[in-house]
Structure 1
């Protein structure tokens, strides 16, 4: 899960709503896994988990864009200390508060990896983490770096660890961009994401090779308490998804400079939209036959989708698609999406613990998603206005 940008000036119309829709997809997928696993098996709606890929691509786009535009305008690169401080303020206050409430208040943190107990038995293996070393990994968002703590605590928070991998790499990518911008501006902008593409492809190839020889069930290979799953969840296996977002930033910056002058905005959007839909189709095939590479291709679809929305804005024109994608309900969920993302699985656990009736039917899935999303949005709203927004506005 990627956190929305810290400063309002980084906001670009049309992108907050898709973040909210992606959060809805994640909630729906997790509700199905727990309360209607047969729907996951038959309809394969676990494909909705690719919303996380979109989050990673969007993060690459939004965070690399200031580096590219500053380089284009001859300005200095962002200050690393300021950048890191903003990332810490954006993620940790909300995460720490929610984790402490879930762990110490509700006793709804996973103390063992849920793969070992079964995700459909949501309340099994939950409780309060008290062992100091394990607790420290959760307080520092490093739990996904060790087999014994992977998927424990707030289990979807593994993606925040992956995000932090990108956060740490981005200033190095920015340094490379600015070091090369004087003589080779195009190479300077493309080389950092190009390197990350290679890293991601190599990481996925290594994961595929190691998992194929592991002898473990597929779920344990990807999510279990072992080093295969650690590598599969790591930044190295997802580096290419962030890279495609960075490439989207380079293309958007080029549009801002007046690139593609002979191509109408409508045709430009058609090209990006066609790329998006084609990549979605390919990713669906891969999801069924070569799932390790699904995110790599879905990331290309995410690039196409983002640029379909924002390319008119880069030309100073109105984007009708941006008006649609920023539909108020989705835009609001997108604004509070970090808190919603962190709250929704503990809400699922407590719902199962209380034996709230959610039938294992299509209707039950819709009812359960509406209930859990509603509670998560309520809690997310409280967290956003009391913790997230004040932390974002705080300056030392």
Structure 2
């Protein structure tokens, strides 16, 4: 499904733009057309939105074979083979970057190093939860990787929900688990830093709402023949894509203008990720059902290529932006700093990511497929 690959590329670009904005001293982005003023800052200032898109996509794509099995359309996926493929998908590119960043720390002052064997062990195991169990990763974006892998481990225990007759249970259970976990985080970590609370609140089951939206979309897609035809027609798919995009915009602007009350305002703390995930799931469902709008936005060659290399792009964009941030000629550009950072960093990041995909990701993924 090329459209879904393109959606993954969109998520990676969203996270990239967020960090480019951060390294450009987070300027206000305002467009003025006559007497009208449009504030675009929320669209680039919430990198977590891109992470949520990744999670919804994982929920959808990984649930498809299990949902097909529950519907009698496919043999049951072997859990050991499924997990082996997941390991070969995530760890090789991560370990390669871990080694490269460790070596670069010796002569790049801006590159954090690893302090002692305990930190090495935590990095090898991706223990990026708040202390004392975890450690702060030397690449800040790595904090989402163990959350993603936690879902990989949990999914085989959740497949009973992917039967059509039980599908109505997915969202209530996921939302309750998310609410209970995040509520516990607000109590247990009331005195912790905001960064530690954010990382803790996203740990599974705190992100189960986003993954479950993808699971539900996969269940409906596999069983679409049991739904009224108009619900999965290409015509409705266009409306679904528009509705999904609008809902995501509402969620993003809602969080941006309510961020001061994030840890005290229950609606925003518990509601913004489900709203964003629901919009994402609508777009995914529209794309899977052949919607023209989704194909135009995400099925074009650039987005598909970006989605293909999106994992490496996600891994490499932050170190590259960090290194460029220290280049004197890129400092002091004022309002031009963000576009210059994007124009310089994005091609460089995509080139390195393409090499990582060609030389590390794809060969190891092929081994994973052959062995399973």
User: For the superposition of Structure 1 and Structure 2, which TM-score range results when normalised by the shorter chain?
Assistant: 0.7 to 0.9
2:165 to 186, 192, 195: 186
Q: Deviation of residue 62 (structure 1)?
A: 0.5
Q: 2:59·2:211 contact (CA, 8 Å) conserved in 1?
A: yes
Residue equivalent to 1:76: 75
The secondary structure found in structure 2 opposite 1:77 is coil
The secondary structure found in structure 2 opposite 1:370 is helix
Could you list the runs of 5+ residues in structure 2 that have no partner in the other structure?
31-38, 263-267
Residue equivalent to 1:61: 60
Q: 1:277·1:301 contact (CA, 8 Å) conserved in 2?
A: yes
Query: TM-score scaled by structure 1?
Result: 0.79
| d(CA) in 1 for partners of 2:201, 2:333 | 30
Residue equivalent to 2:117: 132
Residue equivalent to 2:12: 23
Residues 1-396 of structure 1 correspond to what in structure 2 (within 5 A)?
12-39=1-28, 43-44=41-42, 45-73=44-72, 75-107=74-106, 126-144=111-129, 146-147=131-132, 149-174=134-159, 176-177=160-161, 181=163, 185-187=164-166, 189-192=167-170, 194-210=172-188, 213-214=190-191, 220-221=193-194, 223-224=195-196, 228-255=197-224, 257-262=225-230, 264-271=233-240, 273-289=242-258, 290=262, 292-293=269-270, 294-312=272-290, 319=292, 321-359=294-332, 361-394=334-367, 395-396=370-371
After superposition, the Cα gap between the structure-2 partners of 1:309 and 1:359, relative to the gap in structure 1 and judged at 3 Å, is farther
Deviation readout 1:132-163 (Å, 9 max, x if unpaired): 11111111212335357544211101111110
Q: 1:20·1:335 contact (CA, 8 Å) conserved in 2?
A: yes
Q: 1:33·1:40 contact (CA, 8 Å) conserved in 2?
A: no
The secondary structure found in structure 1 opposite 2:57 is helix
| d(CA) in 2 for partners of 1:302, 1:376 | 25
The secondary structure found in structure 2 opposite 1:237 is coil
Which structure 1 residue ranges, 4+ long, deviate > 6 Å from structure 2? Answer: none
Deviation readout 1:48-82 (Å, 9 max, x if unpaired): 43111111101101111111112112543211100
After superposition, the Cα gap between the structure-2 partners of 1:206 and 1:288, relative to the gap in structure 1 and judged at 3 Å, is farther
Q: 1:336·1:384 contact (CA, 8 Å) conserved in 2?
A: yes
Query: TM-score scaled by structure 2?
Result: 0.84
| d(CA) in 2 for partners of 1:266, 1:108 | 56
| d(CA) in 2 for partners of 1:90, 1:241 | 21
Q: Deviation of residue 331 (structure 1)?
A: 1.2
Could you list the runs of 5+ residues in structure 1 that have no partner in the other structure?
1-11, 110-122, 313-317
| d(CA) in 2 for partners of 1:278, 1:229 | 23
Q: 2:102·2:113 contact (CA, 8 Å) conserved in 1?
A: yes
Aligned residues: 349
